[in-house]
């Protein structure tokens, strides 16, 4: 197994150490459910890390911990060497669900974060237009979310996240609702934008192909309860990458086989659990 360690020099952009999260059980309020247990996860500045694992294993839970939206039951969370208190102000998020404000145009959506930060309107507008151009939506600023396709809405959401220039980008299955062609276009766009500014990225996905194609490192989580990392793989495929083309490379296929051999059993366990619950 090409086990990896994060570059150790300097503080991690995001570091989770011994993180455990327990919830009141949804089935039996008298019981507690341990979603993740004793998780260590470090993302270096500029590193693109994907977390894969079976459905319901705790991927979003870890992302929420990194975002500061969920306080772990035990464990330590640090952002650039500082303990995280409250919401992670150095992070930007992109979630699976649509987060655009339907009453605002695309441009107004992209500008919103800057306006909330008190940036004067004219400046926010200028930057908003620039970001819409960067995500290929130059002429669409006055459209409302319902007038845009799913892929275009994702581009607006991407611009909305990146305009704030976060040092850490947290993405929770951002493209899972898109058709495969649009999805691959968006993945390539994200890689291009990432290459230009090299932020730390924590990317959550179900899709192992997507994880390998995008990342520097793939972390595999075990099935829950008490999910934890059971494998870590360095992806040393050359960049820039085209996510559609790279899948045909022998190195990609070999790595896919290697990771899948670890992930497969966990996916089966996760699936069996879901069936029991259903």
Ligand X SMILES: Nc1ncnc2c1ncn2[C@@H]1O[C@H](COP(=O)(O)OP(=O)(O)OP(=O)(O)O)[C@@H](O)[C@H]1O
Q: Is 35 in the site for ligand X (CB under 6 A)?
A: yes
**Contacting ligand X within 55-74 (CB under 6 A):** 55-61
Please report whether residue 113 would count as binding ligand X according to CB under 6 A: no
Return the structure tokens found at 7: 């570059």
Residue tagged 């993405």 (tokens): 171
Does position 33 interact with ligand X (CB under 6 A)? The reply is yes
Q: Which of 72, 92, 224, 231 binds ligand X (CB under 6 A)?
A: 224
CB 227 within 8 A of CB 36: yes
Q: How far is the CB of 131 from ligand X (least distance, A)?
A: 28
Shortest Cβ 190–ligand X spacing (Å): 19
Which lies closer to ligand X via its Cβ, residue 53 or residue 66? 53
Number of residues located near ligand X, criterion CB under 6 A: 14
Cβ-based nearer residue to ligand X, 59 or 228:
59
CB of 70 to ligand X, least distance (A): 8
Determine the Cα–Cα distance for residues 20 and 65; give it in Å rounded to an integer: 10
Cα 252 to chain center, whole Å?
21
DSSP three-state, residue 253: helix
* Three-state DSSP string of 132-195: HHHCCCHHHCCCCHHHCCHHHHHHHHHHHHHCCCCCEEEEECCCCCCCHHHHHHHHHHHHHHHH
Which is closer to ligand X, CB of 6 or CB of 61?
Answer: 61
Residue 111 C-beta: closest distance to ligand X, Å: 30
Cβ atoms of 58 and 224 within 8 Å: the answer is yes
User: Using CB under 6 A as the criterion, which residues of the chain lie in contact with ligand X when the complex forms?
Assistant: 23, 26, 33, 35, 53, 55-61, 206, 224
């Amino acid at each position: 197994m090409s086990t990896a360690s994060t570059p150790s020099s300097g503080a991690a952009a995001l570091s989770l150490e011994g993180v455990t999260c327990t919830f009141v059980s949804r089935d039996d309020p008298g019981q507690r459910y341990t979603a993740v247990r004793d998780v260590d996860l470090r993302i270096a500045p500029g590193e693109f890390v994907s977390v894969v694992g079976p459905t319901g294993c705790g991927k979003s839970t870890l992302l929420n911990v990194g975002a500061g939206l969920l306080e772990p039951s035990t464990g330590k969370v640090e952002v650039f060497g500082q303990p995280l208190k409250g919401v992670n102000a150095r992070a930007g998020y992109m979630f699976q669900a649509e987060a655009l404000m339907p009453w605002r145009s695309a441009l107004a959506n992209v500008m919103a974060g800057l306006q909330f930060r008190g940036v004067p309107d004219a400046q926010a507008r200028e930057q908003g237009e620039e970001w819409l151009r960067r995500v290929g939506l130059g002429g669409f600023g006055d459209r409302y979310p319902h007038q845009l396709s799913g892929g275009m809405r994702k581009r607006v959401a991407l611009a909305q996240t990146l305009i704030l220039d976060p040092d850490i980008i947290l993405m929770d299955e951002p493209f899972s609702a898109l058709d495969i062609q649009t999805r691959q276009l968006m993945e390539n766009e994200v890689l291009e934008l990432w290459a230009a500014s090299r932020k730390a990225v924590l990317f959550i996905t179900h899709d192992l192909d997507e994880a390998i194609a995008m990342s520097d490192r793939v972390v595999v989580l075990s099935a829950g309860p008490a999910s934890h990392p059971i494998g870590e793989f360095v992806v040393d495929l050359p960049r820039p990458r085209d996510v559609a083309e790279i899948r045909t490379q022998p190195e990609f296929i070999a790595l896919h086989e290697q990771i899948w051999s670890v992930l497969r059993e966990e996916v089966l366990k996760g699936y069996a659990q879901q069936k029991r619950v259903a």
